[in-house]
């Protein structure tokens, strides 16, 4: 179940109320990314320029606030990936690359979620995989991404590989200032852009030998055992 799903019917709210809600949510994404999920609600309220009571009014609990943050971060990632991958727009990719620092709050939030672990982190990653299946599938349909024998397995591999590299980058190259997530993200993007694009565009192996050997080795087509287990 997606964490963004409301547990009660939505109420009618004024436009300024929605703006306040978004400001609190964005402040929470940035603060959780910097300091972790133990951050007190009053700190987030101060960042957003509101009272702690107003945070409770909008989100009920810290878990409710985190669910909203999860949904927003996932939406931001999905939108960026769809524009840079599924639509095959090199210009948009270069724009994202040139302005990587704008994604620092999202970057920090994803890191904190993975480091925190637990069921919420697993659900968060599962949502990322679901989204990857959709935007990679859109790219396949548009003719800018080659199809896979097992689209979900490939999407999961891409997500886990990306997240693993991100975690390692943060662990091996921590910033002198913990708040400098933009610096970490810029160095990460600069380090991976060329090899990642090269691998995804030109490939790595010069022959199909290893793939063909593997397909001969497995008794079932990729994905068949998962289907049988359901």
Angle subtended at Cα 142 by Cα 141 and Cα 146, rounded to the nearest 5 degrees: 70
The reply to whether 23 falls in a domain is no
The reply to whether 1 falls in a domain is no
* pLDDT single digits (tens) 191-213: 888 998 899 899 999 999 999 99
What local confidence, expressed as pLDDT, does residue 7 receive?
34
Which candidate, 66, 179, 81, places its Cα nearest to that of 124?
66
Q: What is the total count of domains within the chain?
A: 1
The reply to whether 34 falls in a domain is no
Mean pLDDT calculated for residue range 18-47: 93
Question: CA 179 to CA 88: how far, in whole Å?
Answer: 33
The reply to whether 11 falls in a domain is no
Binning pLDDT at 50, 70 and 90, where does residue 13 land? very low
Q: Does residue 99 have a pLDDT over 80? A: no
The reply to whether 24 falls in a domain is no
* pLDDT single digits (tens) 65-82: 999 999 999 998 888 888
Give residue 69's domain range. Answer: 62-229
Q: Does residue 62 have a pLDDT over 90? A: yes
Look up residue 82 and give its DSSP letter.
I
The reply to whether 35 falls in a domain is no
Q: What is the CATH number of the domain that holds 75?
A: 1.10.357.10
The reply to whether 191 falls in a domain is yes
The reply to whether 45 falls in a domain is no
SS3 111: helix
């Amino acid at each position: 179940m997606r964490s963004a799903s409301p547990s009660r019917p939505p109420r009618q709210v004024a436009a300024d109320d929605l703006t306040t809600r978004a400001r609190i949510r964005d402040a929470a994404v940035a603060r959780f990314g910097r300091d972790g999920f133990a951050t007190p609600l009053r700190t987030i309220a101060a960042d957003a320029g509101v009272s702690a009571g107003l945070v409770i009014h909008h989100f009920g609990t810290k878990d409710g606030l985190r669910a909203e943050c999860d949904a927003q971060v996932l939406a931001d990632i999905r939108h960026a990936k769809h524009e840079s991958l599924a639509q095959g727009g090199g210009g948009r990719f270069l724009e994202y690359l040139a302005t990587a620092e704008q994604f620092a709050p999202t970057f920090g939030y994803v890191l904190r979620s993975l480091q925190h672990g637990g069921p919420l982190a697993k659900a968060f990653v599962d949502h990322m995989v679901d989204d990857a299946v959709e935007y990679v599938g859109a790219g396949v349909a548009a003719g800018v991404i080659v199809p896979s024998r097992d689209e979900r397995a490939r999407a999961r591999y891409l997500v886990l590989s990306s997240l693993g590299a991100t975690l390692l980058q943060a662990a091996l190259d921590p910033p002198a200032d913990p708040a400098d997530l933009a610096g970490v993200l810029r160095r990460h993007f600069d380090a991976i852009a060329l090899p990642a694009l090269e691998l995804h565009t030109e490939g790595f192996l010069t022959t199909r030998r290893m793939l063909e050997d593997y397909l001969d080795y497995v008794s079932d087509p990729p994905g068949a055992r998962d289907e049988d287990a359901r």
